């Protein structure tokens, strides 16, 4: 069973700069071929990282058409049920961003534990 990361757990993990950088790399890896990344993510580690990453991801998601978004969600390995629920949320990109960051953080965490 995969570890489920609550919002608080994510914030704790995102206090580690290396974990943040690895999570960003994982997100960009899964976005490869779908979005042209204009530049590297510039994060201010003196401020709360999670909202900065969420804003970055929301902007990237807005660039995707429906087919590309579905491909990305498949690459991220997000559950279809969660994806559809996120799309029905009032701010669908905010909910979807959280789910994607949560799933990508799980991947990074598992790699660090089992490699």
Does the pTM exceed 0.85?
Answer: no
pLDDT exceeds 90 at position 22: yes
* pLDDT tens string 35-89: 776 656 777 878 878 788 888 888 888 888 889 888 999 999 999 888 888 888 7
pLDDT at position 38, please?
Answer: 65
Beta carbons within 10 angstroms of residue 27's beta carbon: 24
* More confident site: 75 or 4: 75
Q: What is the mean pLDDT of the chain?
A: 83
pLDDT at position 4, please?
Answer: 64
pLDDT exceeds 80 at position 106: yes
pLDDT at position 60, please?
Answer: 84
Q: Per residue, what are the HEC states of 65-110?
A: CHHHHHHHHHHHCCCHHHHHHHHCCCCHHHHHHHHHHHHHHHHHHH
Residue 44: name the closest of 17, 12, 24, 19 by CA: 17
């Amino acid at each position: 069973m995969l570890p489920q990361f609550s919002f608080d757990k994510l914030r704790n993990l995102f206090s580690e700069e290396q974990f943040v950088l690895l999570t960003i790399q994982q997100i960009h890896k899964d976005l490869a071929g779908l979005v042209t990344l204009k530049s590297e993510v510039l994060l201010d580690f003196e401020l709360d990282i999670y909202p900065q990453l969420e804003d970055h991801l929301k902007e990237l998601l807005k660039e995707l058409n429906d087919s590309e978004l579905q491909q990305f969600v498949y690459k991220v390995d997000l559950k279809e049920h969660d994806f559809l629920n996120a799309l029905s949320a009032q701010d669908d990109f905010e909910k979807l961003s959280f789910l994607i960051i949560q799933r990508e953080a799980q991947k990074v965490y598992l790699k660090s534990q089992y490699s």
